[in-house]
């Protein structure tokens, strides 16, 4: 069963994301700061992380960089979920290694589409093939 880690220090936001994922059959857990996100990623091994950018201890940008730098967590899917929407924020997210970037308020249909596409793309062997498979699935509305 796929696992989705919700990393958000705002309890209401985390619970809303969890409610959006309800009924998918995916297991969920919530982390409330960057440090806990890194710890749970190693211990619980999620397939996808819904990662808030503005969190205590480590920002989502820093968490993503650390995930990508560690061979054990490099392939975990990361979708940054944030109220930030400026082009430089998106560039920072890409530079940190995120797979995608969703701006709050979150549309449930869009969220489910992107998580599902990221889960399916994980079967690809290389980073490039995973990225292409992900975007193909998103564009097709899988």
20-62 residue pLDDT tens:
999 999 999 999 999 999 999 999 999 999 999 999 999 999 9
Residue position matching structure tokens 């993503």: 64
Which CATH number fits the domain that encloses residue 47? 3.40.50.2300
Question: CA 79, CA 118: separation in Å to the nearest integer?
Answer: 9
R_g over Cα of the chain: 14
Q: Is residue 133 part of a domain?
A: no
Residue 71 belongs to domain spanning: 3-107
For residue range 94-133, list pLDDT tens digits in order. 899 999 989 888 999 999 999 999 998 877 767 777 777 7
């Amino acid at each position: 069963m796929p696992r989705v880690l919700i990393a958000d220090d705002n309890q209401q936001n985390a619970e809303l994301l969890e409610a959006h994922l309800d009924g998918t059959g995916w297991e969920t857990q919530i982390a409330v700061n960057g440090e806990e996100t890194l710890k749970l990623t190693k211990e619980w091994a999620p397939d996808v992380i819904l990662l808030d950018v503005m969190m205590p201890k480590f920002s989502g940008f820093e968490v993503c960089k650390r995930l990508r730098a560690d061979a054990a967590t490099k392939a975990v899917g990361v979708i940054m979920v944030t109220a930030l929407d400026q082009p430089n924020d998106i560039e920072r997210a890409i530079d940190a290694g995120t797979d995608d970037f969703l701006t709050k308020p979150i549309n449930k249909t869009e969220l489910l589409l992107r998580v599902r596409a990221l889960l399916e793309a994980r079967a690809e062997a290389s980073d490039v093939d995973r990225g292409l498979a992900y975007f193909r699935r998103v564009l097709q509305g899988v």
